[in-house]
């Protein structure tokens, strides 16, 4: 997860307010765990394992601990946290799918954030007569799950709240419905690769003399090497020596895992990223990896483990490949701005403005719409991709489909 990098100034960590003593002690506990694993692993761990420990270590990782992540008090702002417009438009897009599937249709949201998306989406689906039989949130973080439960219990009517359940894993049974993920793929622990004399190497993390963390390149395993060669064939050119970036060879397996039980229905992913040819441009020779803390982009991903989000942009061509390999049809691909405008943003904004109390509330709504759609904010950096099986979902992407760019 994380806010659009184009919206935030890139600053060195030293220019940010220093963490307090409790936060530093928390980070040191996680750092000690990572150092222990590095030593136990023979002196190095792959970068993706380092990222996984930083984000998801039980009780210590960024998403597993109790500090605020979202909104002004946290480290970044996601689209649902800005206000209700984003979730309402997504509900408008998926409502026809749920109606096609009938009363047993379900929704599975991956990573529920603060619960803001579920709150608005369920209220909007109720207004559209498209309430699912079940609204499941797959949330690995116990802390975030508790926050979601509190918010939804307080803000949904009891009948809607009774539809919500929390899962530790994808549903094991077969189901029909909609899978939705906003800013999830960017937080998947990602391998990093580089090229030396034409050979593929994988970035690892080792200990510096002072006990800090630094990178070290080691020969890539066959899975990563084959994935890099696949990208090169797709681009019709080899990566130059020294080129460094991210690649998720496990993405097809992840998509199949989260959507494995979905028979008929649709999947919708919204995230920041690029089609492959833009992702792996020669000038982007250090990849897209960065960290977020206190609404700043931080270049040093090794600093302050557990206190900052670590994220990488999405290769939407790879996502298209993964979704179709899982047996779905690509329904569409477009910028977030096009997706929201094509799914009722203007109408939802007008409705919200009619209920706004005072000029300040009106301005907040209009600023929310601008942030979601302006090219230099979330509008073009964030993109939406949909997949469908045995349902019609293409209408959601009629405004500005960019599938030809994949």
pLDDT digits (tens, 9 = 90+) for 276-305: 999 999 999 999 999 988 767 887 999 989
Q: 4-54 pLDDT, tens per residue?
A: 443 443 344 446 677 888 888 999 999 999 999 999 999 999 999 999 999
Rounded Cα distance between 18 and 251, Å, is 36
Please say if the pLDDT value at position 3 is more than 50.
no
**Closest to 374 (Cα-Cα) out of 6, 36, 108, 103:** 6
Question: Domain count of the chain?
Answer: 1
Query: CATH number for the domain including 43?
Result: 3.40.50.12710
Categorize the per-residue pLDDT at 257 as very low, low, confident or very high, splitting at 50, 70 and 90.
very high
CA distance 175 to 104: 9
Could you report the per-residue pLDDT of 49-107, keeping only the tens digit for each? 999 999 999 989 998 875 544 445 445 578 999 999 999 999 999 999 999 999 999 99
Does the pTM of the predicted model rise above 0.75? Answer: yes
Per-position DSSP letters for 30-95, written without gaps between them: HHHHHHHHHHHTTS-EEHHHHHHHHHHSTTTSTTTSSS--BSTTSSB--HHHH-SHHHHHHHHHHH
Q: What is the pLDDT of residues 107-156, one digit of tens each?
A: 999 999 999 999 999 999 999 999 999 999 999 888 889 999 999 999 99
- Residue 334, CA distances (Å) to 78, 213, 215, 302 in order: 18, 38, 35, 33
**For residue 213, which of 396, 6, 33 has the smallest C-alpha distance?**
33
Q: In terms of residue numbers, what domain contains 318? A: 1-406
Give the residue from 313, 381, 372, 311 showing the smallest Cα distance to 63: 311
Mean pLDDT of 241-245: 98
Q: How far apart, in whole angstroms, are the C-alpha atoms of residue 271 and residue 252?
A: 17
* Secondary structure class of 327 (helix, strand, coil): coil
The reported pLDDT for the residue numbered 299 is 79
At a CB cut-off of 8 Å and minimum separation 6, what does 129 contact?
A: 99
> In sequence order, what are the residues at sequence separation of 6 or more whose Cβ sits closer than 8 angstroms to the Cβ of residue 337?
372, 373, 374, 375, 378, 379, 380, 400
Residue 11, beta-bridge partner list: 298
CA distance 351 to 87: 14
Exposed/middle/buried for residue 201 (C-beta within 10 Å: 0-12, 13-18, 19+)? buried
Q: Is 383 helix (H, G, I), strand (E, B) or coil?
A: strand
């Amino acid at each position: 997860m994380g806010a659009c990098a184009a919206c935030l100034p890139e600053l060195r960590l030293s220019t940010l307010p220093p963490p307090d003593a409790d936060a530093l002690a928390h980070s040191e506990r996680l750092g000690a765990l990572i150092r222990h694993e590095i030593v136990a692993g023979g002196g190095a761990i792959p970068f993706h394992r380092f990222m996984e420990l930083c984000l998801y270590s039980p009780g210590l990782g960024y998403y597993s601990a109790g500090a605020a992540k979202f909104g002004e008090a946290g480290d970044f702002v996601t689209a649902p946290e800005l206000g209700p417009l984003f979730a309402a438009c997504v509900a408008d897009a998926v409502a026809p799918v749920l109606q096609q599937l009938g009363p047993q249709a379900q929704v599975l949201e991956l990573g529920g954030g603060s619960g803001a998306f579920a709150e608005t989406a369920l209220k909007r689906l109720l207004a559209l007569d498209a309430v699912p039989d079940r609204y499941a949130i797959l949330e690995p973080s116990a802390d975030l799950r508790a926050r979601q439960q509190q918010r939804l219990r307080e803000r949904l009517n009891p009948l809607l709240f009774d539809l919500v359940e929390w899962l530790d894993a994808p549903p094991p049974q077969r189901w029909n419905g909609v899978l939705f993920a906003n800013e999830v793929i960017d937080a998947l622990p990602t391998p990093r690769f580089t090229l030396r004399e034409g050979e593929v190497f994988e970035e690892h993390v080792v200990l510096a003399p002072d006990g800090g963390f630094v990178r070290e390149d080691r020969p890539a395993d066959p899975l990563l090497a084959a994935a890099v060669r696949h990208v090169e064939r797709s681009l019709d050119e080899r990566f130059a020596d020294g080129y460094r970036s991210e690649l998720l060879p496990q993405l097809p397996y992840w998509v199949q895992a989260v959507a494995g039980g979905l028979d008929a229905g649709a999947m919708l992913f919204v995230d920041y990223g690029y089609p492959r040819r833009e992702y792996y441009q020669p000038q982007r020779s250090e990849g897209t990896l960065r960290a977020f803390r206190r609404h700043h982009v931080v270049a040093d991903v090794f600093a302050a483990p557990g206190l900052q989000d670590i994220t990488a942009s999405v290769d939407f061509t790879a996502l298209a490949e993964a979704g179709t390999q899982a047996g779905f049809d690509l329904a569409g691909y477009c910028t977030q701005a096009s997706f929201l405008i094509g799914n009722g943003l203007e109408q939802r904004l007008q409705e919200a403005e009619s209920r706004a109390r005072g000029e300040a509330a009106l301005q907040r709504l209009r600023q929310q719409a601008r942030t979601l759609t302006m090219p230099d904010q979330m509008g073009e950096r964030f993109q939406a991709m949909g997949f469908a099986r045995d349902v019609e979902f293409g209408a959601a992407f009629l405004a500005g489909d960019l599938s030809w760019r994949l």
